[in-house]
Amino acid sequence: MKSIITIVINLIFLFPVISDAQIQERAIAILDLSVKNNESNNSRLFSVEHMAKVTGIPYIITQEVDIAKNYSMILSSSLFTSTTFSADEKTTLINYVQDGGVLVAPRIQDEDFYPLFGIDGYENSNARFEVQWDSNLDDASLKYIDQPEEQVISLGRNTYSSIFKTVGYSTTFANTLATYEDGSSAVIKNAYGNGAAVSIGFSWKEVILRNQINRDYEAQRITSNGFEPTSDVFFLFIRALFLEHTPHTVWKNTSPGRSISTVMITHDIDSATGMDTLEVFVDYERDNDIEATYNITVRYFDDDLMSDFYINRQATLDHIQAGGHNFGSHSVGHFFDFGDDDIFPIGTVGNTKDSYNPSNDGDVTIGGSVYGELEVSKNVLEADIPNQTIRTFRAGHLAFHKYLIDILDELGYDYNSSFSANDVLTNFPYQSKMGRSFSGAVSNVYEMPVTISDVFHANPISIFNYFDKANTWLDITRKNHANGAPTVLLIHPNRNYKLEGMSYYLDELPNDVNIMEFEKFGDYWRAREDFVFNSELDGNEITITIPDSVDLSNDISFIVADGQSLSEISIVNELGTTLNFSHEPWEGNDVIVYFGDFVNSANFVKKEDQSLLKVFPNPVKKNLNIEFEVPQAGHFQIDLLDMNGKKVANLFNDVLHDGKHNLQKTFSADGFSKGIYFVVVQNENEIIGRTKVVMM
């Protein structure tokens, strides 16, 4: 049962007060070593901060060891060399761990820290290609690393002669949490005094930012429609490590309200067929309270690649908008060579539909530019769709130009979805860097990579296998769901059987998946990153602190580890005002704290209690048995609906006593077309059962 609780908010961790007390703050101190190590750019710091953002645990960034020591965890941005710290700083860090702190750092090369980390040496190599976590080790920091794709992660493809530098540790007292393929220790953890020292044998940059800008060494093990969580594993590892050493850790949920994860439905309209058939998708989503994103290719010219299918489509655009959906740009020409810097120069601003006239002869594009594709597509769509601002871009063929982010940022886009999650080895959004460069400026554009799609290269989706493809989507989504990671679904709406597959997929999702429009989730994620809070544990009571000025409509929620064991969770702002939050039991013994009665922007896909209704055989060719249970006597009807919710047959309409019932129906061979239908049992007031049936 929900209950209203009080939430208290302090911002003290933003203004640290130095004292003799150790580990005052239940937060992470990111120790920025960029200056101490004479680093030429902020790529390591950027990577560590992104990890902290995803974990949802409060953090600060400091260059001072004496400030960092006051926090529950110190997360170092980069390696420890013999010249990184002064003698006093080394002593401070050792005493910090001795007194109960958790120190996490990459590549320990300073021998003075060997006893702290439980090692006696290391060996460098540029030819280690994978990390294998010890799945047999009973260690709380590994609690989230439970899938095969997480337990062995890829650093690069072994067809390369060398990749980035890794450190393989030889240990004395440390536990080895993960090894390389050569047997040396890749991740180690050493209990020291009341705390712990943890190290990974590679730079954070190599497993976070390198993947994000897709300059990895082909580390992906599958090109699309797979689960590749290499970067995500480190976010989850850091959170689990913090939870292990900080009682009743509080962190920001990675999905709005009391949902566990989010699915975003996107459609790319890049063909005449897509324009012709998309209305059935629009109507299905509208009827099921789903708000999707339609990325439109504004093909206003004809060449050897495709026709000018955008011309005279105002009625189609109006129908999409009337269905309550959003729009994004899918470029002007949908050119497969858009990512080629030589073929597509940056160009200049000021392009119009009249002045920008690229074309492709089936082999190469001429007359194209990055500015032209991004500027004209945005302006055309905003001119043709009333009250529409184009904030999202997805490149045709997911062709990623080196300067794509730079131009998107300049033209006012907020979101890009031109990478595959498999390619960048993460499923979480991230703030893009310009020029796909380690030293690039941080842009305002967030990448939200495509997770699953209707593009299967080896065995394309078809009318004969779309259920199997939907089951692949479900498997990936469920693994993301377990990590709280979002899933971006891309469907080209050019075949009706794809709608059947999408409908099946949505119907089989876990009940606590949130379905949300792409940009709305992006705005939620930005708000989540900006949302500051603090927590204070006093005996068996915890206080969560948020600013007085925070916008609670963003549906930011919190998870309290082992919160069901607490006697009180209280919340007030820094002015002492009581905030009306609700809480519910969460996974295990945790508690979720959220604002008010959260209702998803698209609502959850409606699912009734399946235990009250069963159909068999399923799929059905002729004879169908319907078993159902009614809670109390009354007038009931059983209908057969198509995928758009239209009633195609009434199967029963009469009075029933309470209890279990069985109905047998026979269908003629030519009575219904093959496909998905729904059997719905309802009385005069509500639906009491709904289930899917496949007609063969």
Q: Round to whole Å and give the CA distance between 634 and 655.
A: 5
Mean pLDDT of 429-439: 97
Specify the pTM: 0.85
pLDDT of residue 23: 61
Q: For the segment 347-381, what is each residue's pLDDT rounded down to a tens digit?
A: 999 999 999 999 999 999 999 999 999 999 999 99
Q: pLDDT higher for 44 or 606?
A: 44
Tokens of 257: 């309200």
474: phi then psi, degrees, rounded to nearest 5? -65, -40
Give the residue from 192, 172, 196, 199 showing the smallest Cα distance to 105: 199
Q: Are 49 and 30 in contact (CB under 8 A)?
A: yes
Give the residue from 232, 260, 189 showing the smallest Cα distance to 50: 232
Give the residue from 643, 640, 685, 559 showing the smallest Cα distance to 243: 559
How many residues are present in the chain? 696
Mean pLDDT of 218-233: 95
> What distances in angstroms separate CA 589 from CA 139, 560, 566, 592, one per listed residue?
18, 9, 10, 10
Q: What is the mean pLDDT of the chain?
A: 91
Q: Residue 18: is its pLDDT beyond 50?
A: no
Q: Residue 664: is its pLDDT beyond 80?
A: yes
Q: Round to whole Å and give the CA distance between 493 and 454.
A: 10
Q: Round to whole Å and give the CA distance between 285 and 263.
A: 14
Q: Are 126 and 101 in contact (CB under 8 A)?
A: no
193-222 burial: b if 16+ Cβ within 10 Å, else e: eebbbbbbbbbbbbbbbbbbbbebbebbbe
Give the residue from 265, 273, 264, 407 showing the smallest Cα distance to 331: 407
Tokens of 337: 């060579």
pLDDT of residue 606: 44
pLDDT of residue 4: 37
Q: Round to whole Å and give the CA distance between 479 and 146.
A: 10
Q: Residue 318: is its pLDDT beyond 60?
A: yes
Give the residue from 647, 645, 689 showing the smallest Cα distance to 287: 645
Mean pLDDT of 568-589: 86
- Between helix 496-507 and helix 272-287 the angle, nearest 10°, is 30
472-502 burial: b if 16+ Cβ within 10 Å, else e: bbbebbbbbbbbbbbbbbbbbbbbebbbbbb
The mean-pLDDT minimum among 51-65, 201-215, 609-623, 625-639 falls in 609-623
> Which amino acid is residue 573, in one-letter code?
N
pLDDT of residue 645: 58
